[in-house]
Structure 1
């Protein structure tokens, strides 16, 4: 089926350092190929066969209409005088609706636009910038999905267009002990479609890529390389969310320093993931100290042909990444930036060893030899948990009206570090 036929994005080079396979099913990042020191790595976990993403839920797929956990039931929402209701449908437990409901965007069939210029949620100036920064005919693609009014209980017909673009090495400054291998950029856009009576609407929206990284798995050196406990995380976080026993948010946030003093687990300053590993592992939401200031919403009145909000996202980075994931064993690192307020950090605690594992990671590709718990660092950038109920001072309320366009991004810069370099 075409929804499981990978769309290959690659940089125009005889020896490309970075390539990505995207599945239209769930807009899934099926593979991230990295060429480093003569070795081919695939740095995201997952099944070998694209069709098995129907069984292996939430692995490298897009998540929505609303990421993470929302209390089940009917909620009244209001923004700019526009009032609406939506009903969050149970799928994780009687109290919890997870990742948009029973059939979220991870099961949507996303259409790849035949040309970047066919996009309606990216301006002419932005398409020109994308074409210049992401060279070649196959290094960038835009995927589209329409979520109808009432889909999974959510209000309003929502048009979404998501850009996935590769940037060649040289688009960022690296330390002398690093080699830039290129970047992956995902830009999420969405707009409520007009209704016949012209009535304005409002809907909750919180999109993310639910991708899980393992920088060592392709080395196939036994159990050690199937674990990310020896990876290091450097995270510029200020607070961690307090969760209820059913993993719904309480609405409270503790400072990372106070949380770390209590458990020794949450201050991720170039910290080895396995050091003071909490309980069965990490499944925590962190607020970032200083996310990128790219706007979360674009007013429709300002969405004109010469507007270019992707120029800075795709350009050379002049700020430190908000999160870094690195491994001394492979020498690889991924440095992230985003305008989202925070991220969910999850260590694949519930991985099923009887599941599916890629051949490049030492699996057979068929069911029966899956990944072990702690085998991936899921780094999922999105707005705070149930933010329409519990807004924070440094984020949006995750509500979108008919007068604006949703605009969020994540950028992952891939680098090769010298083994033993202090930043590794």
Structure 2
């Protein structure tokens, strides 16, 4: 089926360092290739065959209309004087609607946009940075239309997502910070960007976020000879987290999974190994970011034609054309000392859900051949617990249930706004130390 035919995005340079395969089904990031130290890495987990994503849900897909968990039932919602109802449908456990319900955006085919059917949720200024062609090269835009009442959510919702690769800023690819020494020097391999836009024709409710599962060492399995188990517990994770004194009512009362950085505890992810004080049940926790100057998540329709939230997010992370502008400061880093790869994330979302892939069964599903698997479904050699770090960027869970968030970051969207969500991942490399 066409929705399982990968669309390859590559960098235009003669020595590309990044490439990714996107499946229109679920707008799934099937492979993210990184060229470093003379090797090819695929740093996202998943099945070998694109069609097998139908059996391995939420693996590097878009999720929506709503990301993460909502209590099952009918909830009255209101924002800026516009009111409606949402009926959250059970699809996890006995009390939870997860990732938009039984048939979320991860299970639907997205449409690749072309010059004959161009984007409508990116204005003329923004499209000047992302010219649409029939043959995508380093970027592509996809659309999904969700009808009124879909999975219990009100309003016809139009969603468009820009997926882009960005070249390094320096020709020699070196990432330089003030005071850097040769020993600390990193190489800028480029960036991956997702920009999500959504608009309602009627009603009100909010949408989508990415759900990526990373392992920065998985493609080194052939070098390890299978002697070491596949794991992310040796990865170093840094999350800039909100302290309990900075937390909002929403993060304290709505979500039972919000964690705070008490020093020396498992949830103090300040450049800590994931395996250090690893919880018995693994990680499946939401971490709210501290207050910072954040790029808006909503664009008033009245000013939509004047804004440009794309230009800065598509600039290289360093070099003569680098700029922060309409980007937030980095909030998450994931590093492997073994492979030398580092991922640096920034976003305009209020926090991140970190899941260490605890609730998985290696007897089910499939593991990519490049990660040491057979590639076959249910062959008994799939990914086990702790083999990936899933990062899901979004605002606090079900924040619309907290009256204190009314008309603020309540995770609702009205008909006079356009939803704007971006996540950017800068990929870097540092020569690993020899053991």
Q: TM-score, normalised by structure 1?
A: 0.89
Partner of 2:372: 362
Runs (5+) with no aligned partner, structure 2:
316-321
Q: Provide the TM-score with structure 2 as the length reference.
A: 0.87
Q: Distance in 2 between matches of 1:32 and 1:292?
A: 30
Greater Cα shift, 205-214 or 33-42: 205-214
Aligned partners of 1:178 and 1:415 also within 8 Å: yes
- Residue 14 of structure 1 and its aligned partner are, at CA, apart by 3.0
**Paired position in structure 2 for 1:187:** 195
Distance (Å, rounded) in 2 between the aligned partners of 1:219 and 1:122: 40
Structure 1 residue 400, shift from structure 2 partner:
0.5
| 1:290 CA displacement | 4.3
256 and 116 in structure 1: CA distance in 2 versus 1, 3 angstrom threshold = farther
* Structure 1, unaligned runs of 5 or more: 195-200, 243-247
Match of 1:229 in 2: 233
Q: Which residue of 2 aligns with 1:245?
A: none
Q: Map Cα deviations across residues 288-328 of structure 1 (whole Å, 9 max, x no partner).
A: 11456211100000011x42111222233547521000000
In the TM superposition, what is the alpha-carbon distance from 1:193 to its structure 2 partner? 1.6
User: 2:91 is paired with a residue of what secondary structure?
Assistant: coil
Distance in 2 of aligned mates of 1:170 and 1:230: 30
Per-residue deviation, 1:419: 1.7
In the TM superposition, what whole-angstrom CA distance separates every residue of 1:30-66 from its partner, at most 9, and x where no partner exists? Answer: 0000000110000000000000000001000001011
Distance in 2, matches of 1:254 and 1:2, equals: 39
**SS of corresponding position for 1:188:** strand
* Distance in 2 (alpha carbons) for counterparts of 1:292 and 1:47: 38
2:337 aligned with 1:336: no
Partner Cα distance (1:25, 1:313) in 2 = 25
**3-state secondary structure, aligned to 2:75:** strand
Equivalent positions of 1:240-279 (< 5 A) are 250-251=254-255, 256-258=260-262, 260=263, 264-279=265-280
Does the 8 A contact of 1:239 with 1:286 survive in 2?
A: no
Q: Is contact 1:291-1:341 (8 Å) kept?
A: no
The residue that corresponds to 2:26 in the other structure is 26
Displacement of 1:235: 1.1
- Structure 1's 392 and 277: CA in aligned 2 closer, same or farther, altered over 3 A? farther
Q: Classify 1:385/1:41 alpha carbon distance in 2 versus 1 (closer, same or farther; 3 Å).
A: same
The residue that corresponds to 1:307 in the other structure is 307
What do residues 68-105 of structure 1 show as CA deviations (whole Å, max 9, x unaligned)? 11000000001111110110000112211111000000
Whole-Å separation in 2 of the counterparts to 1:253 and 1:380: 14
Aligned counterparts of 2:208 and 2:253: Cα–Cα separation in 1: 18
Q: Note the alpha carbon deviations across 1:371-390, whole angstroms, 9 max, x for none.
A: 11000000110111111113
Tell me, yes or no, if structure 1 residue 80 matches structure 2 residue 92: no
Task: Indicate whether 1:16 and 2:16 are aligned.
Answer: yes
Higher-strand-fraction structure: 1
Residues 6, 22 of structure 1: 8 Å contact kept? yes
Decide which of 406, 421, 427 is 1:414's aligned counterpart. Answer: 427
Provide the alpha-carbon RMSD of the alignment.
2.6
Matched residues, number: 403
Partner of residue 346, structure 1: 355
Q: Which residue is equivalent to 1:160? A: 159
